[in-house]
Amino acid sequence: MKKVGFFQSVRLKLIVVYILLMLLGIQVIGAYFVKKLEDQLTTNFTTSIDDRVESLTFSLQNAFTAERGEDSPTLEAEVQNLLEEFNKTDISKLQVIDSSQSIIANISDQSAIGKKVTESRITKVFILGESQPQPVTSDGERLYVGAKPIIDEEGNIVGVLNYEAQMDGIYNQMQSINRIFANGTLLAIAITALLGILVARTITKPLTEMKRQAQIMATGDFSQKVDVKGNDEIGQLGITFNDLNDKLKLAQATTEGERRKLSSVLSNMSDGVIATDRLGAIILMNEPAARLIGQNFEDVQGQSLIDLFDLNDQVEEMSELEETGSLIIDLSTEDKHLLLKANFSVVEDENNEMNGFITVISDVTEQEKVEQERREFVSNVSHELRTPLTTMRSYIEALNDGAWRDEDIAPRFLDVTQNETDRMIRLVNDLLQLTKMDHKETTLMKERVEFIGFFNHIIDRFEMNKDEKMTFERNLDTRNMYVWMDKDKITQVLDNVISNAIKYSPEGGTVRFDVHSTRKQLVVSVSDEGIGMPPDTVDKIFDRFYRVDKSRAREMGGTGLGLAIAREMIEAHHGKIWARSKEGKGTTVYFTLPLMSQKRRGQS
């Protein structure tokens, strides 16, 4: 977060506002005070001058109207004497002018006595009488100027008292007062600034603490609280801030808990989850999805979902996926077959507008494989049943058409019909047996069996009926080996495996039997010297109805279910069965059975 400078802080703004308010108040009060003081001083000054001039004018009137004897002083002398005795404080000019407008007395300039006065202001007084004194400015000086008429007993103007008073004292006094007021203002501003700092600090300190706490909260730490020191608005703000802190802490804990749950769910899902924004760019992907598509989230982040799954031929825009709902995506390569099922759902925002997509992908390769096997199984069963049924129908129709009368043909037709019926019965029995084993309905009647003797007995049974040119080679361990097994089921397995070895062995071939043991298992193998099979078909011979050479197997009466039943029975005994083969070099079928432990063998 950008640090706030002092000149941008609330504290400075509060200080400046506080000083400006104080300064405005002082200036308003000062202006009013100075104006009123100036008016009062001016009024006092003019009143004092006017009263003194009025008193002097009265004395001058008496001097002008008095009778004069031979011993009496002249009017000029008496007037001059009156002017000299007058209190001339603040008066810079004082002269008396007679009716001829000649100066007869002057206290400031004696050389002006006897001179004519031509000022219009004096002339107006002689003509109009009394005139109002007024302040004027002359040569930078402030003067209070007036002319007072001297009137005799008959009311005639016999002279004029002309005066000028210096007003600089008033303004000098005002300047001194203004200086005092300015100094007081500066002192008040300084005190106000200090008080403003203290007040601003009192106000901004809780705000600063709340700002610091907000910065701590932004890091996810909600353990600290704001110290509330009052119950005013700032105190209430602090209380509200602490309440907000508690609610945010609870909300974050809830959100974090939900996030962990979601993360745990996404991580432990067997299905992959891919989230995109509204444009289809990938923004989230869990680990199962990364494993399914074979790419890390960092490699596909921001990539279009349509491009990732190569859906450009199926959809043009992401909005079309909402209508599609789900798709089967083929990501198969030369080395691996992979089919994914993708289910698309829309993520909406608070305004119910599409904000993105959630895609759940799952591996349906095995499901599709099972479905394909189911379809092939149904097709194979239909085919296996149709062939004998068609044959039987043809022969029965021939018999119905009269062939039953022919003593040579009828027995052969009935024999073929009997063989096909037996073949269908074997097929149905095998299917019923597989169905029971699939549904775990087959009960194993297990017992303690010494396997070497048991295996020799089965080989002896086949050896009695084998072709004289065929050779049996036994490589059996001489020790007694005990197995906990169902003799009938294992007999069926061995009958099927040995029968296949004999069927596919060439004339004069050798069938080899091998039994040996590992630490906990018995390993049995039956080998022939037949035509063998391609490597890519070896694992398929245990699938239902699978035949390497279908025409030959059908001719030999096989149903294609023998090895499938053998695998189910061996696995029911907790063993494994597999085969190894090379074209032209024969096939070996192996299976294992768990050996009985010494402890269990002794109890048995």
pLDDT of residue 440: 66
- Ordered DSSP codes for 106-148: ESS-GGGTT-B---HHHHHHHHH-----EEEEETTEEEEEEEE
The pTM of this model reads 0.42
In three-state secondary structure terms, 345 is strand
CATH number of 269-363: 3.30.450.20
Kindly calculate the radius of gyration of the chain based on its CA atoms and give it in whole angstroms.
66
Rounded to whole angstroms, how far apart are CA atoms 75 and 140?
36
Q: How confident is the model at residue 49, as a pLDDT?
A: 82
pLDDT of residue 554: 46
Does position 484 have pLDDT exceeding 80, yes or no? yes
* pLDDT on residue 592: 92
- Identify the CA nearest to 185 among candidates 38, 41, 28, 13: 28
The pLDDT confidence band at residue 553, using thresholds 50, 70 and 90, is very low
CATH node for 447-603: 3.30.565.10
pLDDT of residue 522: 92
* CATH dotted code for 11-174: 3.30.450.20
* Helices 75-85 and 10-65, axial angle in degrees (round to 10): 150
Q: What confidence score (pLDDT) does residue 450 get?
A: 92
Nearest to 502 by CA among 439, 558, 567, 424: 558
Domains 11-174 and 369-438 in one fold: no
Q: How confident is the model at residue 576 (pLDDT cuts 50, 70, 90)?
A: very high
Q: Tokens standing for 122?
A: 């004096």
Other Cβ atoms less than 10 A from the Cβ of 489: the count is 22
CB–CB of 163/93 below 8 Å?
yes
| Mean pLDDT, rounded, for 235-254 | 83
Least confident of 29-33, 89-93, 175-179, 558-562: 558-562
What's the chain's average pLDDT?
A: 79
Place of tokens 């022919």: 406
- At 27-40, the pLDDT tens digits run 888 888 888 888 88
Of the two residues 67 and 463, the one the predictor is more confident about is: 463
pLDDT class for 526, splitting at 50, 70, 90? very high
pLDDT digits (tens, 9 = 90+) for 365-396: 777 776 666 676 666 666 666 767 777 777 78
Write out pLDDT tens, residues 502-516: 888 888 888 999 999
Per-residue DSSP letter, 560: S
Summarize the confidence of residues 248-274 as an average pLDDT: 79
Q: Which residue ranges make up each domain of the chain?
A: 11-174, 220-268, 269-363, 369-438, 447-603
pLDDT at 378 (0 to 100): 63
What does the alpha-carbon distance between residue 587 and residue 504 come to, in Å, rounded to a whole number? 9
Please write the tens of the pLDDT for every residue from 453-475: 999 998 888 888 777 788 899 99
129-163 pLDDT, tens digit per residue, is: 777 888 888 777 788 888 888 888 787 888 888 88
Neighbours of 65 (CB within 10 A): 13
* Greater pLDDT, 457 or 236: 457
Whole-number pLDDT of residue 327 = 78
Query: How far is Cα 182 from Cα 187, in angstroms, rounded to an integer?
Result: 9
Evaluate if residue 518 carries a pLDDT over 50: yes
Question: Mean pLDDT, to the nearest integer, of 320-341?
Answer: 74
Taking Cα atoms as reference points, which of 513, 547, 514 lies closest to residue 531? 547
Per-residue tokens: 149: 């008429």
Chain mean position to CA 377? 52
| Architecture of the domain defined by 369-438 | Orthogonal Bundle (1.10)
* Angle CA 593–597–600, to nearest 5: 115
